[in-house]
Amino acid sequence: MANKQKVKGGEALLMALLEEGTRDLFGYPGGQVIPIYDHLYDYRHRINHILTRHEQGAVHAAQGYARATGRVGVCIATSGPGATNLVTGIADAMLDSTPLVCITGQVPATMLGTDAFQEADIISMTMPVTKWNYQVTSASEIPRAVAKAFYIARSGRPGPVLIDIAKNAQVELMDYSYKPCLSLRSYHPRPVLDAELAAQAVELINAAERPLILAGQGVKLSGAEQSLIEFAETGNIPIATTLMGISAVANDHPLFVGNLGMHGNVAANEMTQHSDLLIAVGMRFSDRVTGDVRNYAPEAKIIHVDIDRAELGKNLRVDIALHADARDALEAFKNGLQHRSREAWFAFAREQEAVEDEKVFSHTEDPQGRFITMAQVIRQLAEVERGEAVIVTDVGQNQMFSARYSRFNTTRSFITSGGLGTMGFGLPAAMGAKVGVPDREVVAVLGDGGFQMTMQELGTIMQNQIGLKILVLNNSYLGMVRQWQQLFFNRRYSFTELENPDFSKIAAAYNIPSRRVTEPAQLGNALREMAAAKGAYLLEVAVLPEENVFPMVPAGASLSELLYND
């Protein structure tokens, strides 16, 4: 514990953030956080504050930072509208298990409940979408609140926390000392592995002819990637990943069979339906993964490993529910595990991959060669980046094409909004990721719709000289909604067509070099030019307006009811 010293609450907050290893902070000042920002003026060489152009940009940037680095992302906003503008990102982080500490200002404690200017009850608003939140009304509470917030955010199943600090607490003098939080009564974030249950799971695995591992983001969050590979190789078991689990396994690993779910790979989905044992690790059986649960994996027993007990049995009845950290479980599964050849099972995988080659991969380019397709862009981007880039997507068709056609050699390389599906996530999240991993190439893959929701963050990129590559796939539609309207609503394109601005002029206004391509012959050079750029760069690609993402499992359908075309 550090020696006590007299400081004001605003400075105590910054000192506590430094104690927790915070070096980057995303925020937007306002009336009820001015005292904190006044102290930030003196701490600006120790804490790198990134001034975003909107509070939603700050929280999404903190998310991208956390997802790329594995550290806790931190953002700050003022009271009232500043705080409420964080809520979308907080809800997104809660669903996607992203560790955040969100700090908001609040009116002085004596004015709480008076409907004072810019007062909002952010504690009540965020209670359903945070792991923990707390309102500070006295400066003396700040160090303990920060220590508790970081411990809760990063431990167990990670997630967002919020600290709301009344203005009087920011200016009061206090005796500062800091003690990290190491435990909390009645909060047990790392469950003790049930060794007997794990041994029963191994027996099921050894008896299975057609096992399949379903790897979710929990594998990445627990740092279990190597344990997953060793377990799969020991038992010679194929691996499929959820959308959030993408990049936990390198695409070229011989046991990797693709991504699961609505727009997943044929082999991964068909193997689910024909498997006799699913080993689900760190995933939650989302409806986008299962489709119709009544017809999901009809032949399979299920082993489900999750650190959050609430997820076990929530969406599906399982045979073995193991409340455990993913790495602990995978390490335990290696004990007594038998290696099986599984020739017929891998032959089935190759048959399904051939089906996808014939029905999908061979049709990813415009047969007339006049239009560029989104699939074509992402496939060529993957060739240029060679699996080394961090790909951050927005939500919609750009997201699904990126998930399907990107290639990854390294974990924490695919960042997207999964559970909430937040349009506007991509640009600020990519910005935060680049701040967190400045030595890695980071590419934001955006649709024209999602880009325009948060494109004011180009100002943040300009001011902070963030070397982010921005790829805008412009089809002049809200593409995924239009796809559903085409397939299920008789092509009634109700308010999904976009009249877009000249993105090159907008980029130029922010001193960001850009290029626009419209023909397939231009694409390769343009992507290489973007990759070679030393700083920020925007590449706009005009793509086929009515391109669809296939294969597709219609909402409510079984994974076996795949659509391959219109």
pTM: 0.97
Q: Which residue among the candidates 8, 131, 148, 167 is catalytic per the annotation?
A: 167
| b/e sequence 359-397, b meaning 16+ C-beta within 10 Å | ebeeebeeeeeebbbbbbbbbbbbebbebebbbbbbbbb
Q: Which residue among the candidates 4, 117, 383, 497 is catalytic per the annotation?
A: 117
Q: Which residue among the candidates 15, 400, 480, 530 is catalytic per the annotation?
A: 480
- CA pair distance 9, 226, nearest whole angstrom: 43
**117 tagged catalytic:** yes
Question: What is the tens place of the pLDDT at every residue in 524-545?
Answer: 999 999 999 999 999 999 999 9
Three-class secondary structure of residue 539 per DSSP:
strand
Question: What is the tens place of the pLDDT at every residue in 133-190?
Answer: 999 999 999 999 999 999 999 999 999 999 999 999 999 999 999 999 999 999 999 9
The CATH topology of domain 5-176 is Rossmann fold (3.40.50)
What are the residues facing 329 on neighbouring strands? Answer: none
Confidence of residue 1 (pLDDT cuts 50, 70, 90): very low
On whether the CB atoms of residues 518 and 540 are closer than 8 A, the answer is no
Fill in the DSSP letter of residue 193.
P
Query: Given a cut of 80, is residue 115 above it in pLDDT?
Result: yes
Domain range annotation of the chain: 5-176, 195-353, 361-542
**503 tagged catalytic:** no
- In DSSP notation, 226-255 reads HHHHHHHHHHT--EEE-TTTTTSS-TT-TT
Q: Which CATH architecture has domain 195-353?
A: 3-Layer(aba) Sandwich (3.40)
Decide whether 195-353 matches 361-542 in CATH topology.
Answer: yes
Fill in the DSSP letter of residue 355.
H
Q: Which residue among the candidates 19, 111, 118, 233 is catalytic per the annotation?
A: 118
Question: What is the tens place of the pLDDT at every residue in 79-112?
Answer: 999 999 999 999 999 999 999 999 999 999 999 9
CA 229 to chain centre: 22
Q: What is the mean pLDDT of residues 453-472?
A: 98
CATH of 361-542, one of 3.40.50.300, 3.90.420.10, 3.50.50.60, 3.40.50.970: 3.40.50.970
Q: Which of 354, 352, 379 is nearest to 365 (CA)?
A: 379
**55 tagged catalytic:** yes
Long-range CB contact pairs, 317-320, < 8 A, 24+: 318/280, 319/204, 320/197, 320/200, 320/201, 320/204
**118 tagged catalytic:** yes
Tell whether the torsion through CA atoms of 263, 267, 268 and 269 is positive or negative. positive
Distance separating the N- and C-terminal Cα atoms of the chain: 65
Q: Which residue among the candidates 8, 15, 26, 55 is catalytic per the annotation?
A: 55
On whether the CB atoms of residues 549 and 263 are closer than 8 A, the answer is yes
What are the residues facing 27 on neighbouring strands? Answer: 51, 76
**119 tagged catalytic:** no
Task: Return the number of other C-beta atoms located less than 10 Å from residue 179's C-beta.
Answer: 11
Whole-Å CA distances, 406 to 63, 271, 388, 474: 21, 21, 10, 18
